Structure 1
Amino acid sequence: MTSTREHRTRPEAASVAETLRVALEVALPTLAGGVMKRRPAAMALAGKLQFDRPAVRLLRRLRDRHHGRALKLRVPGRSVELALSGADVKRLLAGAPTPFSPSTVEKRAALGHFQPHGVLISDAADRPGRRRFTESVLDTGRPLHELATPFAHAIAEEAAVLPSEGSLDWDTFNVAWWRLVRRVVLGSGARDDTTLTDQLERLRLDANWAYLHPKRKQLREEFRRRLTEHLNRAEPGSLAAVIAAVGEDTAPDQVAHWLFAFDAAGMATYRTLALLASHPAEQERARADLGDTGDTEPAQLSYLRACVLDAVRLWPTTPMILRETTEETSWGPAGTTVLIFTPFFHRDPDLPYADRFEPDLWLDGRAAENPALVPFSAGPAICPGRDLVLFCASTMLANLLRHHRFEQASGPVLSPDRPLPATLDNFHLKLDLVG
């Protein structure tokens, strides 16, 4: 029987040709870029060929052809649906964890490589406790974490290590970002433990292949042992100290996911800096909004947070949101996988701001009116680290902008006078420090 908790028109069946085009123009480029760990070479090609642009055009045609109704793709042996309307996005994300679970076959196969007990892929019995633990440690829902002051000190110190003249490239920024992440999550004792995050990177590269790559159990155990040693120190001023106070048997798996998510946060921060470097008016407004706050003083920095949110809207770090039905619904039988391709909804050509940098939409209510703008997902399974990520990203940007002005030195043109690229390769962006 179809669930009474959601009422909608049943999806239409896609043709074989439509299914093939979705596979080739939407799914394949997304997978090639690396879902769990971005592949720089693949991202360079994607940026050059602008893979997301034809994908958005295709889904727009499908939406118009099928009047916004979801499509049942012709996938042998699977029940797979593709969402094409904002109303369906809202319904799917609001329906977590039942009847639309964030734990899907694909996620369990991929995340199982490095966090088999993570909250995102937990079953109905284990998920509530793990989610409560995660929200408690990350201070979900609070713009300033209870440890915002020591975090702000760590951010200021790592920002100060970055170049003060010349240019800034991704590799240099990324080294500083990971030092910061290890300090925030595990304490200063982990600042230089690149082995830990290198091990996680190798596991994540395996996870890109999900069930097609054998699990490296020895490497995972070495990573877990090293991570647990840092957690056991419970260094004051770090999330590890909060974890020790709260307690959770699966803490290492949850922390592995936070480290994974912070990688995407670094990409979003650097992309935001590139947008500000190429949009002088927005850069000056961001600098003006810093006011008299010092480098180590925690602040909400609303405009900079809006800039980060819009960078993630423009180039989602999670391009494909997946849900799996836990019971029969109008989407299909239990076990149906539903796909939400976020670049389509974020860059819908019908949106007046689709291809431009528009931070104000996160401040004036326009974003809240559009349920399909989901830079950190939405609903009960919204990213629990959203507030902490926005704090770290905006505070890092504040430290950089307080002391320097930036201009874009290389990479695709990010101009306020032309549509922004649909796909952005952050790995080959370089910025000049000009003052």
Structure 2
Amino acid sequence: MAVASRLDTGRAFAKVLLPTLAKGVIVRRRSAAAMAEKVRADAVAVATVKRFHERYGPEPLRLRVTGRSIALLLDPVDVARLLAESPEPFALATREKKAALAHFQPHGALISTGPERAHRRAVNEDVLRPGKIDVVGIVADEADLLLRHARSVGELTWDAFAQAWWRAARRIVLGSFARQDGELTDLLQELRGDANWAYLHPRREALRRRFEQRLRGHLERGEPGSLASLAPADELLDQAPHWLFAFDAGGIATMRALAIGGAGEAGIWESVRLWPTTPVILRESTERTRWHGTWLPAGTTFVVFLPYFHRDPDRLSYADAYAPENWPAPSDPGLVPFSGGPGICPGRDLVLVAGSTMLDALRDHLEVPTLRQPLPVTLNHFGLTFVTRSND
């Protein structure tokens, strides 16, 4: 197994990992997203990883980091193995992930281990199964109101879309009483901003308690027709913050799907394939593991940079094109926009339903700007604006 030179290790951080962190992993930074689009940051990152593959071969590439064992995956088959063998021996609860998510959900399933993880994961999978509540009806209501607003001003901007999307998310998770509780999601947004810095930012426990108190009030109401009605409040208090967090990514995917003229669930799939809302998947080994004849120590952090696997033109003929025919069962094991294996996003299907409902309600009423082919590797959703159709 190859070990990157110190220069290439520097390139991996400077051109791949740090630009991804700068955009905001937990909550997107508007100015950083705009700059990343301007300098084509993701295209540079994909090209960098591609050069690593050409220089070192397809096996995991070990980075030279003092005191850490870090391996960058370069082969889709290895990605499939890593995800299939999670959470043992490849734990989802990496040290970076725990440090970040502890800011707003220290007991979430994603950073839990052992029996606690199994129980919390089961709660997530049960509550988030589509069909338990009327997600389509809720989103359609908010889409109708959003369209009325867009027609009145002649355009749809990200800010207007985000407000409607968050209203739908609060109704889905907590019920109609929470629809106007923008302070709840504002508090979460603030905590997520801290989480972007992981262990580099002190935890604001008083702010988190304020958020949790407000959240608990909605959960204890258990309003019929919401996810809050499907399990006791104590079971959901530690999981609901992540559902709201995930809805943010779902909104970003939906807005980008509009920009490429996407339709239905396949349009959402393709949006997240073209522009992954979770660009880096991390796993941490709980024991020594053997990779292509080389043993890697316990505690090794494995890094999967999704834009490389999703946008490599040498492997994918449709890398930079809209290709909805791939979904929901792509042939390439490196196409994992919602992760994969036992750690796959438990809310994937619910987000697909919500996103596709919003997408299909809006798309025929907006003038979709034509993105040049090949499609850009970075697309700043904050800057997207759609003009309403004149005959509406």
The number of aligned residues is 381
Partner of 1:327: 287
Quick one: which of 244, 268, 274 aligns to 1:259? 244
**The residue matched to 2:257 in structure 1 has which SS?**
helix
Q: For residue 267 of structure 2, what is the amino acid of its counterpart? A: C
Partner of 2:210: 222
Quick one: which of 367, 371, 376 aligns to 1:414? 371
CA distance in structure 2 between the partners assigned to 1:26 and 1:212 by the alignment: 20
C-alpha distance after superposition, 1:199-223 (max 9, x if no partner): 0000000000000000000000000
CA distance in structure 2 between the partners assigned to 1:228 and 1:340 by the alignment: 35
**How far does residue 250 in structure 1 lie from its aligned partner after superposition?**
4.6
**The residue matched to 2:193 in structure 1 has which SS?**
helix
Answer yes or no: is the 8 Å Cα contact 1:118–1:250 preserved in 2: no
C-alpha distance after superposition, 1:175-203 (max 9, x if no partner): 00000000000000000001100000000
Listed as ranges, the matches of 1:229-308 within 5 Å are 229-244=217-232, 249-276=234-261, 286=263, 304-308=264-268
CA distance in structure 2 between the partners assigned to 1:169 and 1:132 by the alignment: 37
Partner of 1:389: 351
C-alpha distance after superposition, 1:137-171 (max 9, x if no partner): 001xxxx42213xx222212111111352110000
CA distance in structure 1 between the partners assigned to 2:139 and 2:256 by the alignment: 18
Q: For residue 326 of structure 1, what is the amino acid of its counterpart? A: T
Calculate the TM-score normalised by the size of structure 2: 0.95
Partner of 1:157: 141
**How far does residue 401 in structure 1 lie from its aligned partner after superposition?**
3.4
1:97 aligns to 2:52 (yes or no): no
Structure 1, unmatched stretches of 5+, are: 1-10, 277-281, 287-303
Q: For residue 48 of structure 1, what is the amino acid of its counterpart? A: K
Q: For residue 288 of structure 2, what is the amino acid of its counterpart? A: E
1:311 aligns to 2:287 (yes or no): no
**How far does residue 81 in structure 1 lie from its aligned partner after superposition?**
0.5
Partner of 1:189: 177
C-alpha distance after superposition, 1:264-289 (max 9, x if no partner): 0000011101111xxxxx6xxx4xxx
Quick one: which of 378, 396, 404 aligns to 2:340? 378
CA distance in structure 1 between the partners assigned to 2:363 and 2:70 by the alignment: 45
Partner of 1:428: 383
**How far does residue 65 in structure 1 lie from its aligned partner after superposition?**
1.7
Q: For residue 324 of structure 2, what is the amino acid of its counterpart? A: P
Partner of 1:145: 131
Partner of 1:339: 303
CA distance in structure 2 between the partners assigned to 1:267 and 1:397 by the alignment: 11
Q: For residue 343 of structure 1, what is the amino acid of its counterpart? A: P
CA distance in structure 1 between the partners assigned to 2:368 and 2:83 by the alignment: 38
Structure 2, unmatched stretches of 5+, are: none
C-alpha distance after superposition, 1:214-268 (max 9, x if no partner): 0000000000000000000000000000123xx7x45212100111010000000
CA distance in structure 2 between the partners assigned to 1:159 and 1:405 by the alignment: 13
Q: For residue 158 of structure 1, what is the amino acid of its counterpart? A: E
Answer yes or no: is the 8 Å Cα contact 2:268–2:355 preserved in 1: yes
Partner of 1:6: none
CA distance in structure 1 between the partners assigned to 2:368 and 2:106 by the alignment: 42
1:353 aligns to 2:339 (yes or no): no
Listed as ranges, the matches of 1:63-102 within 5 Å are 63-102=53-92
CA distance in structure 2 between the partners assigned to 1:121 and 1:250 by the alignment: 16
**How far does residue 54 in structure 1 lie from its aligned partner after superposition?**
1.2
C-alpha distance after superposition, 1:82-112 (max 9, x if no partner): 0000011000000111011111000000000
Answer yes or no: is the 8 Å Cα contact 1:117–1:250 preserved in 2: no
Q: For residue 64 of structure 2, what is the amino acid of its counterpart? A: R
**How far does residue 61 in structure 1 lie from its aligned partner after superposition?**
1.3
C-alpha distance after superposition, 1:343-388 (max 9, x if no partner): 000001211101111111216x5x1x11100110000000000000
Calculate the TM-score normalised by the size of structure 1: 0.86
Partner of 2:200: 212
Partner of 1:27: 17
Moved over 6 A (4+): none
More divergent stretch after superposition (252-261 vs 159-168): 159-168
Answer yes or no: is the 8 Å Cα contact 1:167–1:433 preserved in 2: yes
Q: For residue 414 of structure 1, what is the amino acid of its counterpart? A: L
CA distance in structure 2 between the partners assigned to 1:158 and 1:83 by the alignment: 41
CA distance in structure 1 between the partners assigned to 2:301 and 2:349 by the alignment: 29
Answer yes or no: is the 8 Å Cα contact 2:258–2:368 preserved in 1: no
